[in-house]
């Protein structure tokens, strides 16, 4: 009996090892510069179909398992693969967090498909299905690259109520003096590796003025004022300084101003609610150009919304702590 269970465990780990090996080989293959015209990482073939094939391979080579184990078993090689990528520096933490949900879901789907096919087929048919699924990412990706990915402009709107007059709020948004660490809370996006805001300077007031918005690790955006209405709002275009986009938690696939993502513009609007209360709106537009915009957009919207809310919280705290002018009757 002990020998029997030992053989099952050995077969199970061999199946998991085969899944990890397949994923590592795919990673090396897709990142090979010589193959870049035909295979790129930011593709449905790699992001979606590769983990599906990994899950299929793992379950098809493992001893028969209940359906829920077929669904969960691919998570082991999936987590081992992304963990290895993080430990050896292949990917930044942001890329890992964004990819992991897809790896788990598509891996589970691959495992369930392997169980379904395995129950209804035998011998050569199973082998043919295994080979086809393993090659599927490599068959699909070159077809994807025959057309450019769709470009989508996404808008993220945030707002906060501030108990301070519009004049006080205006002074706090045109420039943002250095933000101290204790003024910022720790948000999920910061834990993912997104730098926190540091300060925003302004060259001169009015249209044409230039703001330099600086984040941790020296990440800098040049914001040119395009609309200026004192105590009512301002708008600005955004240009990322490419040489500062070197956060250790990012990599070449996720760069602001790059091929797949760019911040375009932003605007503050002050909405009076009374003599000593306003609603401050902060809205931004960004460009997204991937072959899986619906999924990627969930992440970019989440990151932009969290960053904007963090900035609004700092402005609110500063405005409400600032001395207020005495109202006159």
pLDDT profile of the chain (329 residues), mean per 10? 57 91 91 72 93 96 86 94 83 83 96 85 81 96 92 98 97 95 85 89 97 92 97 96 68 72 96 95 97 95 96 96 63
Report the pLDDT value the prediction gives residue 328, as an integer from 0 to 100. 43
Based on the fold, state whether residues 140 and 205 are members of the same structural domain: no
Report the pLDDT value the prediction gives residue 283, as an integer from 0 to 100. 98
Report the pLDDT value the prediction gives residue 197, as an integer from 0 to 100. 93
The CA-atom distances, in angstroms, between 323 and each of 78, 144, 167, 270 are: 55, 59, 12, 19
How much is the pTM?
A: 0.87
- The range of the structural domain enclosing residue 130 comes to 2-144
Based on the fold, state whether residues 78 and 175 are members of the same structural domain: no
- Domain final residue, candidates 127, 144, 161: 144
Based on the fold, state whether residues 101 and 205 are members of the same structural domain: no
Report the pLDDT value the prediction gives residue 88, as an integer from 0 to 100. 78
Residue 185 belongs to domain with CATH number? 3.30.530.20
Partners of 265 in the β-ladder: 237, 285
Based on the fold, state whether residues 174 and 138 are members of the same structural domain: no
- Domain final residue, candidates 124, 144, 164: 144
* 214 burial via Cβ count (<10 Å: 0-12, 13-18, 19+): buried
Q: Are 104 and 54 in contact (CB under 8 A)?
A: no
Work out how many domains the chain is built from and give that number.
2
Report the pLDDT value the prediction gives residue 1, as an integer from 0 to 100. 43
Report the pLDDT value the prediction gives residue 122, as an integer from 0 to 100. 66
Report the pLDDT value the prediction gives residue 67, as an integer from 0 to 100. 85
Based on the fold, state whether residues 28 and 157 are members of the same structural domain: no
Report the pLDDT value the prediction gives residue 66, as an integer from 0 to 100. 86
Is 328 a member of any domain? no
DSSP strands (E only) in 173-240: 197-202, 210-215, 220-229, 233-240
Report the pLDDT value the prediction gives residue 261, as an integer from 0 to 100. 92
Give the span between the Cα atoms of 296 and 271, in whole angstroms. 32
Is 237 a member of any domain? yes
Give the span between the Cα atoms of 327 and 40, in whole angstroms. 62
Give the span between the Cα atoms of 56 and 118, in whole angstroms. 10
Is 327 a member of any domain? no
Report the pLDDT value the prediction gives residue 51, as an integer from 0 to 100. 97
Based on the fold, state whether residues 185 and 298 are members of the same structural domain: yes
């Amino acid at each position: 009996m002990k020998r029997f269970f030992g053989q099952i465990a050995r077969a199970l780990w061999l199946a998991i090892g085969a899944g990890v090996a397949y994923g590592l080989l795919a990673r090396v293959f897709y990142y090979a510069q010589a193959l870049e015209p035909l295979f790129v990482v930011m593709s449905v073939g790699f992001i979606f179909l590769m983990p599906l094939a990994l899950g299929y391979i793992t379950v098809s080579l493992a001893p028969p398992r209940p359906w829920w184990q077929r669904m969960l078993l691919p998570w082991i090689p999936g987590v081992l693969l992304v963990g290895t990528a993080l430990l050896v520096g292949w990917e930044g933490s942001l890329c890992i967090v964004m990819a992991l949900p897809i790896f788990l879901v598509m891996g589970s789907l691959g495992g369930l498909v392997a169980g379904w096919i395995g129950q209804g087929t035998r011998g050569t048919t199973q082998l043919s299905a295994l080979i086809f699924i393993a090659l599927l990412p490599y068959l699909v990706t070159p077809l994807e690259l025959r057309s450019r990915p769709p470009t989508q402009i996404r808008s993220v709107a945030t707002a906060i109520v501030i108990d301070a007059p519009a004049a006080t709020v205006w002074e706090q948004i045109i420039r943002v003096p250095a933000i101290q660490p204790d003024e910022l809370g720790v948000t999920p996006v910061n834990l993912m590796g997104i730098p926190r805001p540091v300060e925003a300077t302004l060259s001169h007031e009015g249209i044409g003025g230039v703001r330099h918005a600086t984040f941790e690790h020296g990440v800098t955006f040049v914001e040119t004022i395009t609309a200026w209405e004192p105590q009512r709002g301002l708008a600005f275009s955004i240009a990322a300084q490419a040489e500062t986009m070197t956060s250790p938690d990012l990599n070449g696939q996720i760069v602001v101003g790059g091929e797949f993502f760019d911040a375009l513009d932003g605007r503050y609007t002050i909405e009076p609610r009374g003599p000593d209360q306003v609603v401050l709106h902060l809205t931004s537009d960004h460009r997204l150009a991937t072959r899986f915009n619906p999924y990627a957009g969930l992440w970019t919207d989440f990151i932009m919304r969290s960053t904007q809310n963090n900035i609004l919280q700092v402005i609110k705290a500063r405005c409400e702590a600032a001395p207020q002018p005495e109202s006159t009757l």
